Each structure stands twice: as C-alpha cells, then as structure tokens.
Structure 1
C-alpha cells in the first residue's frame, strides 16, 4: 500500500510538499509540471519546480520526489529528461492528464489521450533516453472527450516501457466533477503488468476504502483531498493497519498555515502575500468549519499587517 502526493499546478510547490510529507503517511511526491517545448531547458527552470534536486530528490523528511515533464514532442521530452537525470533526478513522471485549456491548446496534457500513439512515442523516447535504473512513470485520465480510449492509452503507456501508471479516473471533459469512475482502474489493472495507482475524488478514509474496493488496488495518489485534510494519508494508513491515530485539530492546522505563511511571504510581492494561504483555506473549509470563518476574515486583506492580525486572532481562537 502506497500513498502518493499528486502534482497540482500552482498549488503543490516544494514548501507544501515539505509540510505534507512531514505530517506523514506519504510515500512519494510528484512536482508541478515543467513545460517542455522545443528547447533544452536550463537548470534554473528545473530548480524552480524541483528544488529537491539539491537534496537527492527528497523532501527534508526523506520522502522521494519525482520530477514531472509535460510536452507533446518526443525528442525535446527525451532531451530534457536526460538533462534532469544529469542534474540528479531519481525518477521522471510524464503528464498526460492536465485538463487546463491553455495546456491542451498547446498540445500538452490530456489532449494527447486522443492519440495513444503519441502517448506511446513520448514515453518510449524518454524511456530510451534515461538509464534503466531511473523509473519513468506516467499519469493519464480516462480519455479526452469521453472515456472510450482509456484502455488504448493504458496499453500504450505499458508498451512504451513505463514503470508505473497513475490513472485519474475521469476524462478531460469530466473535469473534477464527482464521481470518479474507479471501476475503470480495475479493468486497467487486470490488463497491465506494471503497477497502477488510483487517483480522483478521495477526500476521506471511506472514499479510499471505496476506491480500493472498486479499483482492486491499494495504491493511491491524493491531491485536493490532502489539501482539505492534510493528515488524510496518515488517517488512511492508521485505519488500514489498525493503529490508533488522533486526527489533526484545527489549532494544529492553523499553526501549520501560519508557518507556511511566514515561510512564503518573502517570495511574493506585498499585495499577493496572502494568496496562497487563502487558496489553501478554501480547501480546508471542506474539512474544518473554522477555516471558513478564517477565510471570511482574511479574504479581502492584502497587506502583511492586516493578514498577520487575522492570523493572531485565528490562532488565539483555536486554543
């Protein structure tokens, strides 16, 4: 049983990976995607998205991090994968699941699922370019306009030499609307010999158990569910392993958010200094009612003194 942290563009950067892996229960992470066009990218671009390259591709608590590439042309993808390995990447992940219109308009992400042969060509080029000891993994959705191509794409991933496949159990058109169609993952697992990881709509321990039952697999990747409930991976593992575990309290979550705010504030211009915290509070509101109250208090605040005052009030109220 493995639980992975999903890549979420503009959300799960290295600070968030550090925080969530410190909480525990996670066996690995994937970076936000690095967009590949026709160029060999410089190290500074790789480092921007994968600062763990400087620490043996592990978060500070030792959790492995895969570096994710997104692109539509086999040769540039292969060249940049080689560069990443030269810079210390321990695993390369390939994105065929991003549903964003801007990405799809430039022939990246989920739009490639319309042509399984292109999925195959990209993965094979990368697999051939990097040493056999470097895992090459891929993430797909069940299709683009609909879910009819799911098996063709899954077969293409395996035939191209990928070491593992993660399946977000929705099509591009499905977006993020419930439900996730986990039973398709069971079909894929029955067909493929490589490990298959389930992803999509896992918000609670009960969701995980339903996903495991319907998909036939214990390995999952958590995205929004882990932002809404930062210790969800620990809760799942404790339940499955029959261990006692007390979920994080709002006081602990609020203190975690404050540390994140203090750490990241110097990275943004003043008017944007609270944006990441506000974004995270939106997810947390699903699990913690207090997050909704905090968000209402902070949502129109734009200066560090205003945001600091909101934090102090929230921290005091949480105890």
Structure 2
C-alpha cells in the first residue's frame, strides 16, 4: 500500500503476530532496468533474506505494462532473493492508470497474459508468482477472462480485491463475486477488501469460499487483527501494548524519513488507529496540529528513560 504500509510499518505489524506473508508496496516499472538500490529501498527485507525482522516472508510487487521490461526487472529482482514476486493489476490510482499501470490493464486480458507469462519465464521455476487484481476496471464483465489469463500465464495464486477500479475504496466490498473466480481457476484465490474486523473476515470467507485472506487498511487500524483471527480466545492487543511498537515505528521514521514529513507519518497511522482505539482518537485530536517530530514524540510517548548508569570496579593488582 504505497504511502502507508511500507517496510517500517511491515516491521512493526509482523512483530505483533498472526501474519503468514507480506506483499510490498509496488515498484513501478516503466522503460528501464532498475538498479538494485531501487528494489532494496522499497523492499529492504531483501537485505535480510526476504523476511521482516520477525521472520515473516515478503513478496516484492512489480507494476507495469511492458512484458519485456517487466520480465527483465523481475529476473533482476529475483536474484536478490525475495520470498516471491507479485504483480499488481489492482491499483486504482488515476496517475498510475493514466500511464497504463494497475487496474486499467483489466480491460486488456491478452496483455495481462503476456506480462504474467514473460515474468514467469524470467524468474526461477521454484520462485512463487502471485497476482493482485480487482474485479475489473469500470465494471466486472471481464473478471473471469482476466483471472484465466493470469493463470494461463503462470500465476500460482490470485489475490482478488472485491471491487472494481470505479468502486475505488467505497464500501461495500463484493466478496460474493470472488466465489466465481475461485470456482473458475485451479489455483489458490485470496479474498481482499474491506476486512476491518473478525466479523468482516468471517463474512469474507463465507461469501467468497476462500480460506485465505489478505488484510490491508484493517491491519493498519487494528494491528492485532491477524492475531485475533488466529486465536479468537486471546485478549485483544491493548493500547499500552501498542505504544512501544508505535514508538519503535516512529524511531525508524525519524531515522529514514525527511524531517518535514516525520510527524505526518505518525499522525497518518494515528488517524487509522482511531477506528479501533479510543485512546488513538484522543491522541489524534490532541496532537493533530503538532508538526515537530521531537514534540510529537514527547507528547505521545513521554520522556525517554535515562540510560542505566555504568558501574565500574577499580582493579588493583595484588
């Protein structure tokens, strides 16, 4: 999720538990072979065995429309050792679609097939290849045609966001329409879209018939969501448990993000957390006009603990 769920947030959310796999935000491929630093900047987990610090595997996602260029970049990316490669045919952003990327390609199933096929041939046979799609671009008339093209091209798994590009992110998600995709293709189909709560997850499973779910904004709003789906009897993640993780996230932001954008990144996450935590609502309203990262850190997390004193024993020769 570009601009939101990046490697810093992946690191924190996977520490909570319950997540089997992550997919990176997309790496935009146009007309050139990307240098390794582009791949490792967006997916720094490539530098640690393709996994987050908590050990969760990360698939790197590519977005583009040129089969040859996508294949060449996929081959270079594969050499860096991701846990798999994912192709994005679901992004609804106007600027992306205008340049023939993301969901706009759902009107061109033949091109989708060519892209998937070229990437499949370019990467090692043992490397997983998955595809993210929506139900369609302006309508869902070609959903099954696109799904079939992806599988014929060599995709081993389809993640279906249960809305069209025209639907954007407006509720509801049409989980029942994923069922037709699941029945039509011989690969794993993962249901995605508008899963905010355990009840949403159960409804998505029932309506789609899918056993696998992909979480997005729901996981950002409730970092304990995946764990709650794994162990419904476990107590929910409390605000007091989340705060140290948030501080760890903000520490990363303050090391890696330009100073003027640091406060915005934390307030962006707080905004999502308001949906699940009353404490986040209070904090967001209290801190939304604070733009100093230093002040924001102090007001939300409190003063840093003083380092323990170093005690030395004087050594005497006997």
TM-score computed with the length of structure 2 as normaliser: 0.93
Instruction: Give secondary structure in 1 for the equivalent of 2:158.
Output: strand
Name the counterpart of 1:246. 235
Query: Do 1:270 and 1:302's aligned partners in 2 also have CA atoms closer than 8 Å?
Result: no
Distance (Å, rounded) in 2 between the aligned partners of 1:172 and 1:211: 19
1:167 aligned onto 2:160: yes
Matched, 1:300 2:293: no
- Map of 1:223 onto structure 2: 216
Q: Confirm whether residue 183 of structure 1 aligns to residue 172 of structure 2.
A: no
C-alpha distance in 2, partners of 1:36/1:161? 20
Partner Cα separation in structure 2 for residue 308 and residue 212 of structure 1? 39
Name stretches of at least 5 consecutive residues in structure 2 with no aligned partner.
305-318
C-alpha distance in structure 2 between counterparts of 1:64 and 1:308, whole Å: 30
Alpha carbons 1:96, 1:113 under 8 Å: kept? yes
Structure 2 residue 259 is the aligned partner of structure 1 residue 270: yes
State the alpha-carbon separation in 2 of the partners of residues 204 and 284 from structure 1. 13
Cα deviations across residues 16-58 of structure 1 (Å, max 9, x unaligned)?
1111111100000011100001101000000111111111101
Give the secondary structure class of the aligned counterpart of 2:38: helix
SS where residue 169 of structure 1 aligns?
A: strand
Partner residue in 2 for 1:51: 44
CA distance in 2 between partners of 1:89 and 1:250 (Å): 33
Show CA shifts across 1:166-200 (max 9, x none). 00000000001111101111111111100000000
Picking from 99, 107, 119, the partner of 2:100 is 107
* 1:205 paired residue number: 198
Please show how residues 1-319 of structure 1 align to structure 2 within 5 Å. Answer: 8-239=1-232, 244-312=233-301
Answer whether contact 1:254 1:314 (CA < 8 A) is retained. Answer: no
Larger radius of gyration: 2
Aligned pair count reads 304
Shift of 1:251: 1.5
Q: What's the offset of the Cα at 1:313?
A: 5.7
Q: Following the alignment from structure 2 to structure 1, what is the Cα–Cα distance between the partners of residues 303 and 287?
A: 10
Query: Deviation at 1:269?
Result: 2.9
Deviation at 1:314, TM superposition (A): 11
Which contiguous aligned blocks of 4+ residues in structure 1 show a shift greater than 3 angstroms?
A: 312-315
Per the normalisation by structure 1, the TM-score is 0.92
Q: List per-residue Cα deviations over 1:124-154 (Å, max 9, x = no partner).
A: 0001111110111100000001122111111
Aligned counterpart, 1:3 = none
Aligned-pair CA distance for 1:304: 2.7
